[in-house]
Structure 1
Amino acid sequence: MTGGRAEIAAAADVLRAGGLVAFPTETVYGLGANAEDPAAVGRIYAAKGRPTSHPLIVHLASAEQLDDWADDVPAAARVLAERFWPGPLTLVLRRSRRIPLETTGGLETVALRVPDHPVALELLSAFGGGVAAPSANRFGSVSPTTADDVRAELGDAVAVVLDGGSSAVGIESTIVDATGPQLSVLRPGGVTREELEAVLGQPLDAPETSPVRVPGQHPSHYAPNARVLLVDPDKIALEADHARELGHRVGVLLPPTLARTSITADFVRTVPESLAAYAHDLYGYLREFDRQHCDVVIASLPATEGLGAAIANRLGRAGGPRPTA
């Protein structure tokens, strides 16, 4: 299904009827339902296999709707919304009573954003309300950045998939907690901490843990089927050799500084020098390793300035401890 006007109108009708719609955003594809309908929201959790205690991000058509969905919005949050919406920034605020606790994972806070994608904005405008939408994939796995990724991941669990091409940013939004006296970055993403601080004129906290639950905090997240091993760049060749000696089919994410290094592996991808290009391509690389039947991926973390913080966060969680059966 494409993202034409007739298809968007039909998708809005599906949302009104309590159904699920997968749609493109600039970050990744989302799996959407009417944010005010607990039964519809429950279908998201069921389709993804997502714990119901994990809150969902509510997508809005414009920043002008902010006060309809949140209470006691602080001035700093309004400044960020004015500067970065539409865009890859999510604000955590006190929830309006119109939002059911099923959508917020039982919390008195709500995560809100305005996506920067024409299909998403047209869908939100046609629907007229808020759309709760986590990434359109099974819980914990690699987020989808194309409509084909959604279909491969969810199959018949979602009947309507709006195709808006490849996601421009390629990783999820930055999440900023605006519920306390000091704003803090709870998940790095498409808007960098440096950009946020430049607009606010003050430093932001970036705690490793937070009592405020938000998407993307699970230890194992954004993960391919292959096991991701994170090592120092100068250890990549050695670790790849060792893994192959143990009988693994090995994939390697090679830093650009090692592009000319000879690596013995079954599948190698050299990452771009541009962090924006790396972020855009990251999930595609991880999915490609699975398609190549790699069972181990060797990678290293980039420097954590700018978008490097978001890439390092995703790789760190991709390499996190897997649930045991």
Structure 2
Amino acid sequence: MYDPDKIIRLDPVRPDSYYIARAGNIIRNNGAVIFPTRCLYGIGARALDEKAVKNVFWIKQRPLNNPILVLIPDQSHLEKLVKSIPEPAKILMKIFWPGSLTLVFDAKNEIPNLLTAGSGKLGIRIPSHPVAKALVNHLGFPVTGTSANLSGRPGCHRIDLLDPSIIETSDLVLDAGILKGGAGSTIVDVTVFPIRMIREGEISQEELQKALVH
């Protein structure tokens, strides 16, 4: 059974900077923190540290051939992570970032294989939820943004729906109440032309097409 004291209730709009710093310290030291994104709760860890990412795979009981997306504070971090930013990606970022759109880029060679699952591609987004935003901005480096669920199970928009083992094996839980829910972020591969939707989430294919036409 997990320790209930590891669950911290936060204001979803104005999160307490003390708890953001506490969560950030855990992540800096290769720990894992459950935190809210716009639609679902996610697991945050140091994205470029292999040990930290391995821990996320272990928490989720996730196969190693399944890549993990990352959250970044702002677009300036892209140059350290990706080989190039195609024109369609620039348009979509301008319209939908921060927000529920994950773009898949060709990862730079130094990005850990574990993160890309050997695909050479990396999914990235800038979060819009105030807690997620505050956390990645506080840290100033890429953080894993995979959903806080056991592999193959649905994502959770409420803390009380999380599998107890996920809470038990994580170091801290930032509870911002009930989230929007749904399918999570839309995932689009921008390494190909035309771009390819991998998963339709909060942003529809129609919205993406409309954005690229204008």
Same fold (TM over 0.5): yes
Q: Which amino acid aligns with 1:46?
A: W
* CA distance in 1 between partners of 2:84 and 2:128 (Å): 25
* CA distance in 2 between partners of 1:195 and 1:155 (Å): 35
Q: How far is the alpha carbon of 1:185 from its aligned partner?
A: 0.6
Q: How far is the alpha carbon of 1:12 from its aligned partner?
A: 0.5
* CA distance in 2 between partners of 1:32 and 1:97 (Å): 23
Q: Which protein has greater RCO, CA pairs closer than 8 Å, 6+ apart?
A: 2
Q: How far is the alpha carbon of 1:153 from its aligned partner?
A: 5.3
* CA distance in 2 between partners of 1:43 and 1:13 (Å): 16
Question: For structure 2, which runs of at least 5 residues remain unmatched after alignment?
Answer: 1-7, 11-15
- SS state of the match for residue 44, structure 2? strand
Q: Which residue is equivalent to 2:193?
A: 181
Q: How far is the alpha carbon of 1:156 from its aligned partner?
A: 0.9
* CA distance in 2 between partners of 1:13 and 1:71 (Å): 30
- SS state of the match for residue 122, structure 2? strand
- SS state of the match for residue 102, structure 1? helix
Is 1:190 the equivalent of 2:190?
no
- SS state of the match for residue 134, structure 2? helix
Q: How far is the alpha carbon of 1:83 from its aligned partner?
A: 0.5
Q: How far is the alpha carbon of 1:25 from its aligned partner?
A: 0.3
Q: How far is the alpha carbon of 1:151 from its aligned partner?
A: 5.9
Q: Which residue is equivalent to 1:50?
A: 62
Q: Which residue is equivalent to 1:95?
A: 107
Coordinate RMSD, CA, aligned: 1.5
Which aligned pairs between 1:1-325 and structure 2 lie closer than 5 A?
A: 1-3=8-10, 4-150=16-162, 152=164, 154-201=166-213
Change beyond 3 A, Cα 1:169–1:150 = closer
Question: For structure 1, which runs of at least 5 residues remain unmatched after alignment?
Answer: 203-325
Q: Would the aligned equivalents of 2:47 and 2:143 in 1 still touch at CA under 8 Å?
A: yes
* CA distance in 2 between partners of 1:94 and 1:192 (Å): 23
* CA distance in 1 between partners of 2:33 and 2:170 (Å): 7
Q: Would the aligned equivalents of 1:71 and 1:96 in 2 still touch at CA under 8 Å?
A: yes
Q: Would the aligned equivalents of 1:48 and 1:137 in 2 still touch at CA under 8 Å?
A: yes
Q: Which amino acid aligns with 1:132?
A: T
Q: How far is the alpha carbon of 1:142 from its aligned partner?
A: 1.8
How high is the TM-score relative to the length of structure 2?
0.89
Q: How far is the alpha carbon of 1:67 from its aligned partner?
A: 2.3
Query: Paired residues, what number?
Result: 202
Deviation >4 Å, runs of 4+: none
Summarize deviations over 1:50-108 as a string: whole Å, max 9, x none.
00110001011223322232111101101101100111111000112442111111121
Larger radius of gyration: 1
- SS state of the match for residue 112, structure 1? strand
Q: How far is the alpha carbon of 1:111 from its aligned partner?
A: 0.4
Q: How far is the alpha carbon of 1:2 from its aligned partner?
A: 2.5
